[in-house]
Structure 1
Amino acid sequence: MSPAPFYTLTAGDLTVTAVSDGLMSAPLSLLSGISREEAEHLQRHSGLASPETIAIGAYLIRGRGNTVLVDTGTGGANGVGGELIANLARLGVGPEEIDAILLTHAHPDHIGGLLSAAGTPAYPNATVFLPTRESAYWLATSTFDNASDRGRRNVLLVRRVLANCAAQISGVDDEEVIAGIRPCLCPAIRPGIPGIVSKRAIPRC
């Protein structure tokens, strides 16, 4: 069973829709701070057939004259996901209509969808906002040198995306990026990784 592709809520004067990019496998041993039993319960409650399956997703934010994506899924990298553009089409949104992309971080399942299968920008009219700490991390020599073989493949993938989309990418810290939306630091995966908030929906974070 795949998760439903769309869940929508209203945040102030914005409409926020969760859009599926597909599924990927990952062992529950990757998790910390939660028991295996609770993790399995939450996964099955989410409609996933296997508890060791992760739903890959992005958010579409519409309002104030903007059409914004938060994260882009995998783009099919490593043979998983890659369903985001097709699911956006089901919402009546084409890739050329996206005018801004806010990346929470640059793991392949968040940044990989910036590129088409041909290696060109998948969202040609979008300004891509990426935390400056993230670009510095992925481009650092030490990040590659200290990574496992799998990690090094991911580093090279991320660097390819950054290079091919360089003309679109704008560094961001905690300033407002578009139409009252700004990053809010919540470093769960790694220090420096933000969430995204609307200042009208959530006055302070």
Structure 2
Amino acid sequence: MSPPDPAEPLNAADTRQGRMLAELAAMGMELARDLQQRALAAETTEEATRLAQSFHQISPGLRQTLALDMKLIRFARDLSRERAAEAEQKTRREADARREAVRYRQAEIGAQITPLIWQEADREEVERDAATEAAVEEAAEQLQARFDRWVADAAIRPDFLEADLDDLIVEAAAALGWDTARVWGDPDPPGEGADPEDPPSDSG
């Protein structure tokens, strides 16, 4: 007997083999009952003996059919567990890979934003005439906390890994109240700068 097709349902009773075994077992039981009833109703000893022998001859085949049916049920159950375990492992691997990719993407954004946080904190405190070390540190911590909240929220978005890195950096800067120039040190983000003007022609 061939094993169940992996594409078929894992419920043994729903497989082609399961249905065939169930039908065979039903026919065997029907025949066994018929022989048993006829043997009990036999009018002569010879007829009863003959029918009883026939009953015993088909009994091993019926037991084998039922044993195969149970084996098929165990096979389907084990296969179902194996598939469930494989699916769980695949899901875990994919989740681990995504977490690692998310951490790497967060680090990429942080590498651009974090150094600017201290610069911005120092600039803000200078403007407020409060540029002490403690004041700058407190301002930096507040900006860092805002950035951490933003990047944590952004990381759970479905498009976080597919989004353009520069766009995410600009979005992070906007969340901190910065303009594009503060991030890139230039009014135009990478790849979007104006074309340089043509040099003046030499009239001489």
TM bucket, shorter chain: under 0.3
* Higher helix residue share: 2
Look at both structures and tell me which one has the larger radius of gyration over its CA atoms: 2
Structure 2 length normalisation: TM-score? 0.17
- Does 1 or 2 have the higher relative contact order (CA < 8 Å, sep 6+)? 1
* Higher strand residue share: 1
